[in-house]
Structure 1
Amino acid sequence: MTSISTIEQLDLVKLLDRCDSFHNNFISGTIPFYLNDAVIGYIIPEVIQELVKFDSFVYDWIYKPGKSIQLNATDFEKRSSILEKILKVWKQSNLFGVADQWRNELYSVFGPNGEVAFAVERGGYWLFGFVSYGVHCNIYVPPTPTTPMCLWVPTRSSTKQTWPGYLDNSVAGGISHGDSIVGTMVKECLEEANLSVSHSSLRSRGIVSYIKFSQKKWYQPELQYVFDVPIDENTKLRPNDGEVAEFHLWTLDQVIQELAAGNFKPNCALVILDFLMRHGILSPEHPQYYETFQRIHRNLPHPIGKYKKSKNHDASAVSTSVNPPPNELTESQHFDPCATWSERLNERDYNYKYAILILNRSISISDNRFHHLWDNASLRICADGGSNRLKNYDPTLKPDILVGDFDSLTNETREHYKRMGVQILHDPDQYSTDFMKAQKVIQENGISVIFTLCGMDGRVDHALGNLNHLYWSYAKHKETQLYILSEANVTWLLPSGESSINCGTIVNKHCGILPVGRDAFVLRTDGLKWNLENQVCSFGGLISSCNIICKPQITVLTQDPVIWTMEAPDPTD
């Protein structure tokens, strides 16, 4: 575990000041760079003095001394050409150190609506105070019961143009003109760390933004898109393009010590602080927590670029050599809902315990299936209005427990089950649904398999709410297998990793793999008529619906949680 005292002793403001150093302290004479009515940068007097020396200045620029400046051009090519000619002249004399920082790489400059307005050589981009964009990735090995979390940290090459020999984020790089955010991240992982990743293995974790004030005069706003990639301890990062001297796999204690020593490149230190906050290592009790959060998420006073989605770095185009961490991907889980309609449930030595949960929805499954489930359940529970549904379905059936805030339970139903000796648990909590309350009671009774009768027909919002609960249950109670039974189907959530599904006798029945709420990268399936391999599934793209089960045992390996649904026959089928 990370030492709390080490974190508490970390001077966060000192780290912030090394990077987020602009506090409205422009040097005298700095003027805004406009594009139409939007301020897209700031230029200091030294740069203005050099600009006005060009013979074409009066034609290429609209200049109001001491007030503002903007390009006298309305299209991408003309704007880009003006700045290209200027920077090439300055490169020849190494004015402002342009030659030292020349990259032969263009950065995009964005206009008032986030559109690409023109492109500028990276080596001179900063002279105009434009927002620069980059990607940073934290590649880490998650903790286990016996080992702490570790983070891959590179030492920058001694030949780097900037910050040679300093520590960096696992992988990072600027976004070149014409490139996408995710495409850049995929490319940088391969080029810098020899790590091939897919679009879906990258987990977007937000943005880190700040404004540098280099040498107390250069205004430099920057925005970094942050990603996490968890991997296992057997996957090694190796320098690949000469930008990294070596990689280290360090515990977070070691990382924090290097932060305190000032050994990280300043903006990379902010990305590390963001990582420590998100993973709960840096707690809100730290006296500088609020200031840190504010300053690594600064509101930049400029139009922010709208990047297009990558077309060249999807899952089908990029091989995946990332070995996922055991606790996040490689654990195998077995699902056997077909056991509930097995005749073996009637055998005393057949140990398959489950609960049946009735929500406030119509009981739409067949009588044969319902009574088979009810008779063999270890626990029978009704959530609030589900009690009314059961009474109307068959008043002779006795549940074990009624639970909920009872805003839907009728007095007649309450008295009916009270006379039968049913346990009635009133839970007035308005921050949890009756579904959540019932699941909590079931788990407190030591049962981890739940079959819920709530239907997927009727109102669409109810159906989607049920699917949302599957994701909620997985996030809160990974040990619980929660199935939703409707008239013709059984539906549940497959977690990240490998899942084996016992389909029993329902070969040749229909099934589906559905991503809900986010794209899902399915690495492979086995046992389906149309198997998937390295396929991104998404609404608006490909989903595996109307697929057919071809084997009694199905295997699904997925990078992201997905909904699995399949036809469920009656016990007599």
Structure 2
Amino acid sequence: MAASSTTRTSSRLLDLITVFDNVPLDFEQNCHPYYRLILAPDDRVHGYVHPNTIARMPWPAAFAIDHEKRQVVLSAPPASTSLSAHANAAFQEAVDAAIDGKIFPTLNGMHSEYFLVPGAREFVQIERFAATLFGIGTRGAHLTAYTTTAEGELRIWVARRSKTLYTYPGKLDSTVAGGVKASDSPLDCILAESMEEASLPVSLVGPRVRTTGAITMVNRNPRSELVHSEILYTYDLELSGEGEEVPRLGDDGEVEEFVLMSCEEVKQRMLAGEFKTNVCAVMIDFLIRHGKITPEGEPDYVDICTRLHRKLPVPTRSDV
């Protein structure tokens, strides 16, 4: 069975968030049995490593494991070397050895694009598939495109993921979404993915897309037990629904179709378990911002708003 292809129904919108944001809010203080990842000389925690990873990872000499303190410490760079060069080389050495040894299923036996280590004092990157092994925060960007009908009804362009994708095959998704590469900004990601996934050109998206905030969550994978923080930058784009202002299948083959749905249909299909799990938070955030989920009609309104923007147990900016 492809990863994460099961369907889970819910009766509350809040449950759609907490099924993904499923790590206790005090995890930063109470993270046992995970090991804290330290990038010396910075003493802040940049990730949380599962004991199984600690035991099986072919750790390069630059990493020291302190079982008493439950820490993984990347040594400070030598005087003649930058933190960026030192950390990137150490992470790459570990990932290369893990892939060569076919140690972790999450690596799929292959290399992947680079993700940024948020909050590091210099530019530090790690391969995407390996980020969760080190419990490092990841960045994603989601665009919700919508159309307003002549009657004033707001409708959302929902993508259906290809059934050939390894993760969440056939599930409903944001109009456009992607992981933010290490050297890219969230907007760079949106502009590139809009063309690749939805055939929406930069000339259309660039001048009109609106940045609307960031959603923060912390996920513990129920199968692997790997924990990682997730930052989802959100964007809105209003389309006329005519001519080139209609999402169409792109060249990357990741989308099967685009469906124009009412806000109520989106809510019901989320509750029915038809959406990719982390996308529910994006859709709920959109519906709140557009007045389709209100405190008058949603008993969990305050808890939902709070949970969409939780404090992460890892830094999101440098401290120097």
Establish whether TM, by shorter chain, passes 0.5: yes
Q: Given residue 61 of structure 1, which amino acid in structure 2 is its aligned partner?
A: F
SS of equivalent to 1:184: helix
1:141 aligns with: 147
Match status 1:186 vs 2:191: yes
2:66 aligns with: 64
1:289-344 CA-to-partner distances (Å, cap 9, x unmatched) read 111111111111221147xxxxxxxxxxxxxxxxxxxxxxxxxxxxxxxxxxxxxx
Match status 1:291 vs 2:294: no
Does the 8 Å contact 2:161/2:173 carry over to 1? Answer: yes
Pick from 26, 33, 36: which aligns with 2:37?
Answer: 33
Pick from 211, 225, 229: which aligns with 1:204?
Answer: 211
Structure 2 counterparts to residues 508-527 of structure 1, below 5 A: none
Does the 8 Å contact 1:20/1:210 carry over to 2? Answer: yes
1:236 aligns with: 246
Match status 1:157 vs 2:162: yes
Structure 2 counterparts to residues 241-390 of structure 1, below 5 A: 241-285=252-296, 286-305=298-317
Does the 8 Å contact 2:102/2:109 carry over to 1? Answer: no
Does the 8 Å contact 2:99/2:109 carry over to 1? Answer: no
SS of equivalent to 1:215: coil
2:14 aligns with: 13
Distance of aligned partners of 1:249 and 1:292 in 2 relative to their CA distance in 1, 3 Å threshold: same
Gaps of 5+ in 1: 1-8, 307-573
Structure 2 counterparts to residues 429-508 of structure 1, below 5 A: none
CA shift, 1:93, in A, is 4.0
Does the 8 Å contact 1:91/1:98 carry over to 2? Answer: no
CA shift, 1:13, in A, is 2.5
Does the 8 Å contact 1:107/1:119 carry over to 2? Answer: yes
Q: Percent identity?
A: 29
1:248-274 CA-to-partner distances (Å, cap 9, x unmatched) read 111112211211101111110100000
For 1:101 and 1:39, the matched residues in 2 are separated by 28
- Say which structure, 1 or 2, has more relative contact order (CA 8 Å, 6+ apart): 2
For 1:131 and 1:236, the matched residues in 2 are separated by 33
For 2:108 and 2:143, the matched residues in 1 are separated by 27
1:444-466 CA-to-partner distances (Å, cap 9, x unmatched) read xxxxxxxxxxxxxxxxxxxxxxx
Matched pairs, number: 291
Does the 8 Å contact 1:30/1:66 carry over to 2? Answer: no
SS of equivalent to 1:232: coil
Pick from 92, 98, 107: which aligns with 2:106?
Answer: 98
1:83 aligns with: 91
Does the 8 Å contact 1:27/1:44 carry over to 2? Answer: no
For 1:101 and 1:256, the matched residues in 2 are separated by 37
SS of equivalent to 1:21: coil
1:176 aligns with: 181
Does the 8 Å contact 2:107/2:129 carry over to 1? Answer: yes
Does the 8 Å contact 2:100/2:109 carry over to 1? Answer: no
CA shift, 1:112, in A, is 4.9
CA shift, 1:98, in A, is 3.3
Distance of aligned partners of 1:66 and 1:193 in 2 relative to their CA distance in 1, 3 Å threshold: farther
Does the 8 Å contact 2:197/2:249 carry over to 1? Answer: yes
Does the 8 Å contact 1:194/1:237 carry over to 2? Answer: yes
For 1:111 and 1:264, the matched residues in 2 are separated by 30
Gaps of 5+ in 2: 1-9, 78-82
SS of equivalent to 2:117: strand
Structure 2 counterparts to residues 32-51 of structure 1, below 5 A: 32-35=36-39, 36-51=42-57
1:230-265 CA-to-partner distances (Å, cap 9, x unmatched) read 010212211111011111111112211211101111
Asked which structure has the greater CA Rg, the reply is 1
Does the 8 Å contact 1:131/1:221 carry over to 2? Answer: yes
For 1:304 and 1:101, the matched residues in 2 are separated by 29
Does the 8 Å contact 1:143/1:149 carry over to 2? Answer: yes
Does the 8 Å contact 2:161/2:170 carry over to 1? Answer: yes
Aligned-CA RMSD value:
2.0
CA shift, 1:78, in A, is 2.1
Does the 8 Å contact 1:90/1:98 carry over to 2? Answer: no
Does the 8 Å contact 1:60/1:72 carry over to 2? Answer: yes
Distance of aligned partners of 1:93 and 1:76 in 2 relative to their CA distance in 1, 3 Å threshold: same
SS of equivalent to 1:110: coil
